[in-house]
Structure 1
């Protein structure tokens, strides 16, 4: 009987140790063609920087494509979108942390977050997972010619599984662009503190991407097909840019700007790519549905509960 107990216990421990190990097959991005061996990692005085942003196409041919980002969103020329997608994160987990990535050209957190269904600019709905978010100051996109103090990009990548085929996903990435405007009395965002505060860990332990949308009274967005705004400028991005800026305190905005202190790489403390030509692309306008989606509960019994029941069964058998 003791042997049975240990067999059950070993099985439970193995199941618990592997339960949270999820391997996903992410849709791959196209390989970019670089000139003279320059790669996306070669940011600096001898590679690419924001000082030579107008000449990125000389380094990577993709950066000279017709569907580049960012763009100026002229609201009078947008078309009302027929499908109003839900911009809510499903199966969100407060225990999933984002680790700070070592990027010389931005501040970025990386770490798989949660699943989200997103309507592509073609009208099809695909599933993505949030992979990272990073900052640009001032904003990269403009709305009716207006720049904002800061823009955060939430980058999501599509997956290949039994329900979704990467070959049928036109845009392998969906990026949400959220604008921020300086307000001296605005409260600091806890999610940004690990980037700069010496007493922080460099990891966001408890973070819900829905929190940003919950602060918006207007969830109007603009939707178009575009590209990455850094090398390799891959034209495989489904862009969703929100109109209403969120507040950011003077102190936190200055922290972002001070990070871009090298004037040879960041002219006047900017890390935003210049506006690109629209080239006939259609810009759709919609209103996101952000209410009514809650955390999906974990209906599986906990390890402790399962172990207790196993021990109880063994005792009863004896």
Structure 2
């Protein structure tokens, strides 16, 4: 009898554990078609917030202000190995390994950024991509009514917070650098290290450890990183936390048809579906200000810029 009770108790425990695992997986599964996106807010209240991303950026609506450039500290150093490339069913994500206490004591550090209207130093966490099934869509943000074929997000955590989870609880917690890809007849050298490994992660939860490392700066070499848009917004996937300062560089990076087709052959977390069109619909701007860094303000109409207001004094909202 005791043995039977033990087995019954064990079965109950296993059922509870399997239910929790199933619920956990379900919480991380979401679709990108319009009805699915409208359902995000049923599980994640932030997805119906007033400061959501992505948005449509327009030069005519942006406020040009002279603010500091983004400083890329350690972006020219090789990233720590091994780099883990993952198909998580929603995107391709490159995880950057954390440094050990010994490495930190020896003076090593992960790449970080500051400048623009960022409040503090933001350390690299990961990077991922959004792309479309066709060449006329894929990027999440629109630039002057143009939707590029793909968009890369490099995610950073404010260093004053211990983890990304903690940082997402605060409005200054996260900074995301956004880069756009335009179709080109030539191979984009910047993406070589990523694209050559995509065939190793065809299915959701597949991962591979890259056999070599690279510098983050190589991903956007030869583009103009002095000019950028910046605004306050959110994660573009559930839980849609409104904790992100976006910095978006409009100068596109080249990508060939052959390269982007390798992204389009991956499989999503939805059974039988390929991983394409993993971008969120543009969200209302509301009363948010969008800022544009101007390098040469001589040609900027005086009505659009007030030199009496320091860049740091401009509020993110009207």
Q: TM-score, normalised by structure 1?
A: 0.67
CA 57–38 in structure 1, closer or farther in 2 if over 3 Å, else same: farther
Equivalences for residues 47-58 of structure 1 within 5 A: 48-51=30-33, 52-58=36-42
- Structure 2 CA distance for aligned equivalents of residues 176 and 131 of structure 1: 12
Compare 256-265 and 125-134 and name the one that shifted more: 256-265
CA 112–92 in structure 1, closer or farther in 2 if over 3 Å, else same: farther
SS of residue paired to 2:195: helix
User: 1:249: which partner in 2?
Assistant: 256
User: 2:147: which partner in 1?
Assistant: 147
Shift of 1:259: 1.7
User: 1:157: which partner in 2?
Assistant: 157
SS of residue paired to 2:67: coil
SS of residue paired to 1:179: strand
User: 1:231: which partner in 2?
Assistant: 238
8 Å contact kept, 1:43–1:49: no
8 Å contact kept, 1:229–1:273: yes
Equivalences for residues 37-56 of structure 1 within 5 A: 42-44=27-29, 48-51=30-33, 52-56=36-40
User: 1:107: which partner in 2?
Assistant: 92
SS of residue paired to 1:231: coil
- State the number of aligned residues: 245
User: 1:14: which partner in 2?
Assistant: none
Compare 75-84 and 172-181 and name the one that shifted more: 75-84
- Structure 2 CA distance for aligned equivalents of residues 180 and 150 of structure 1: 5
- Structure 2 CA distance for aligned equivalents of residues 271 and 126 of structure 1: 31
Shift of 1:105: 0.5
User: 1:303: which partner in 2?
Assistant: none
8 Å contact kept, 1:194–1:201: no
- Structure 1 CA distance for aligned equivalents of residues 273 and 121 of structure 2: 35
Match of 2:120 among 122, 126, 131: 126
**Structure ID, larger Rg:** 1
SS of residue paired to 1:49: coil
8 Å contact kept, 1:195–1:202: no
- CA root-mean-square deviation: 3.4
User: 2:9: which partner in 1?
Assistant: none
CA 139–204 in structure 1, closer or farther in 2 if over 3 Å, else same: farther
Shift of 1:125: 3.8
Q: TM-score, normalised by structure 2?
A: 0.67
- The answer as to 2:54 corresponding to 1:70 is yes
